[in-house]
Structure 1
Amino acid sequence: MGWHMGRLAPFDLETTSPDPEDARIVEAYIGRVGGGLDPIDPPGYLVNPGVEVPEEAAKVHGYTTEHLAEHGDPADTAVHAIAAWVADAINEGIPLVGQNIRYDLTILDRECRRHNLPTVEDRTGGELGPVIDTYVLSKYLDPWRKRVSAEQGAHVLKTTAQVFGVEWNDEEAHGARYDALIAARVAWCMGRHAHRPLPERPRLAGRTDQRHLFGALAVDLPTLHASQKRWAAEQAASFQEWLRSPKAGEKRDPDAVVSGEWPLIPFSPAAEQVPA
């Protein structure tokens, strides 16, 4: 039986910022699906971050400062609960599943530190996996996929869902529950294709037939986790090289540094931290 047929723990955060060192959590979701068991599907958990929610962030997820102040739990209480839920999944051996999950796990780590709480790793004896990251897997399986439009990237959750035949609803998107469950469905589709014979796997949008790449997903969870760690590092190095080259055009930065750490960017005491 492939990993896609086992229990999965969809996980996602909505936040105040795209920068994981600065972002505060405003909504969290972690559930349980699959494995022949009934789903555990709680509502999204609202968090009062204790800071102003930028207008740009509120436009994405819909949560304003005022709404969260009225309906969200205090940040320290919420972060403690979220970290405990994530650690429970890891301690139970259930893989976390999400889109660009490194972002979410890094934010959760920084929020724990900000509120002087045990991190997820503190709660799991240093373990942080297995993890299934549909962003890393998408870039590995379909490396030449082009952007859909100026607004819709090649490997964002919406595009990846559409490529793998998972229904997408723009009105429900960008809530933690919706995005987490969509990522789990995408992961399930990837796993299903990986365990099919080569001729039955989908030909994706790349320049050449890449169906053989699915075979690297037809492995046990520890192997898949280790592979994603390697692929994430390779993908970061490739992006960094592109940013430093003339091919990047207006985005060119000769000094660009793209971290390849996965599934968590390690904490650096020297990094500037926003005070609580």
Structure 2
Amino acid sequence: MNDLAQSEQLLKTLGSAPQQTSETPLSKSWLLGFDTETTGARPGRDAIVSATLVLRNPELGHDHDVLGEWIINPHRHMSPGASKVNGFTDDYLEEHGIEPEEALESITKVIVSAQNSNIPLLAYNAPFDVAMLQHDLGQWKLDTLESRITNDSLLIVDPLVIDRAVSHRSGKRTLSYTTEYYGVEPDGDFHNATADTVAAVDLIGPMTTLYPQVGRLKIGELMAWQQHAHGIWKDSFNQWLTSKGRRPIQDGWFE
């Protein structure tokens, strides 16, 4: 299935999805997973080279996901570090990547359709992927996400923020470690946008089962709850950084 057909299938499925309300609990919510691979880690200077959207109907589960995958020619060089991680090269992207305007417009239309039905966008460490998308939209003079949606702001689910708030475990919180903790089997190799997206969406099932308070979270409460949770984590992390003589972080979470 080509990029256009995948986008049309996602939009068609979203068209038949229920209009969720602010009262819909996270455990019963449709979700639109999102992940990117990029030329580097600096939004505004780097760009998306691969993106995946995964639409999950909670009643049907993993096996009935609707996927869209895009390989994009960013018209800028891959950094050696990023290329080593995600495997993309300048030559490959130039040969196989579609033009950014086409890909970004397709991706954005699907996200906006989901947002307008109160279907959250789910991404692990979501500020990075959303910032990359926003900067790329601006780079190619395309309308922003916020200017297209009917809600006041984006509706996001970030399993990293949720896990930090409820699991109180030690150790790393990369996607690979977190999926192992929750017993999620990856569908492919990590640092592949599709494998990472599916794994991130798969986390919600065990999270909402192990922590019923997360499953009971209503769509209308999600953003404020995650902002508060991130603030508590940031304060604690900054205390640790300061104790080590390191500079505190300033980043908020969609504030």
TM bucket (normalised to shorter chain) is 0.7 to 0.9
With 179-188 and 233-242 compared, the bigger mean Cα shift is at 233-242
Contact 1:235/1:260 (<8 A) preserved: no
Q: CA deviation at 1:217?
A: 4.7
Over the matched positions of the two proteins, sequence identity in percent amounts to 26
Q: Is 2:182 the partner of 1:161?
A: no
Question: In the superposition, relative to structure 1, how do residues 94 and 22 fare at CA in structure 2: closer, same or farther (>3 Å)?
Answer: same
Q: Distance in 1 between matches of 2:87 and 2:185?
A: 21
Q: Which residue of 2 aligns with 1:113?
A: 138
Structure 1 residues 33-52: aligned runs within 5 Å: 33-37=56-60, 39-52=64-77
Write the distance in 2 (CA, Å) between the matches of 1:116 and 1:95: 25
RMSD: 2.1
| Cα distance, 1:29 vs structure 2 | 0.8
Which of these residues, 227, 232, 235, is aligned with residue 234 of structure 1?
Answer: 232
- Deviations for 1:109-145, whole angstroms, at most 9, x for unmatched residues? 1111111110111110454433210110111112341
**Secondary structure of the equivalent of 1:31?**
strand
Q: Matched residues in 2 for 1:67 and 1:95: separation?
A: 32
- Confirm or deny: 8 A CA contact 1:90 1:128 kept in the other structure: no
Name the CA shift for 1:144/1:190 in 2 (closer, same or farther; >3 Å): closer
Q: 1:86, CA displacement in angstroms?
A: 1.4
> Which consecutive residues of structure 1, in runs of 5 or more, have no partner in the other structure?
147-153, 196-214, 265-276
What's the secondary structure of 1:230's corresponding residue? helix
Unaligned runs of 5+ in 2: 1-23
Q: Normalised by the size of structure 2, how large is the TM-score? A: 0.82
Distance 1:168 1:145 in 2: 21
Alpha-carbon distance between aligned partners in 2 of 1:187 and 1:128, rounded to the nearest angstrom: 22
CA contact (8 A) 1:237 1:258 kept: no
Larger RCO (CA under 8 A, 6+ residues apart): 2
Task: Tell me the CA shift for residue 176 of structure 1.
Answer: 0.9
Equivalent position amino acid for 2:69 in 1: G
Alpha-carbon distance in structure 1 between the residues aligned to 2:194 and 2:250: 29
For 1:103, which of 128, 151, 164 is the aligned residue? 128
Question: Secondary structure in 1 aligned to 2:66?
Answer: coil
Residues in 1 aligned to 2:26 and 2:249: alpha-carbon distance in whole angstroms: 34
User: Take 1:142 and 1:102, find their aligned partners in 2: how far apart are those partners?
Assistant: 21
Whether the 8 Å contact between 2:55 and 2:67 is mirrored in structure 1 is no
CA distance in 1, matches of 2:253, 2:72: 27
> How many Å apart are 1:224 and its aligned residue?
2.5
Measure the CA separation in 1 of the matches of 2:210 and 2:222.
Answer: 15
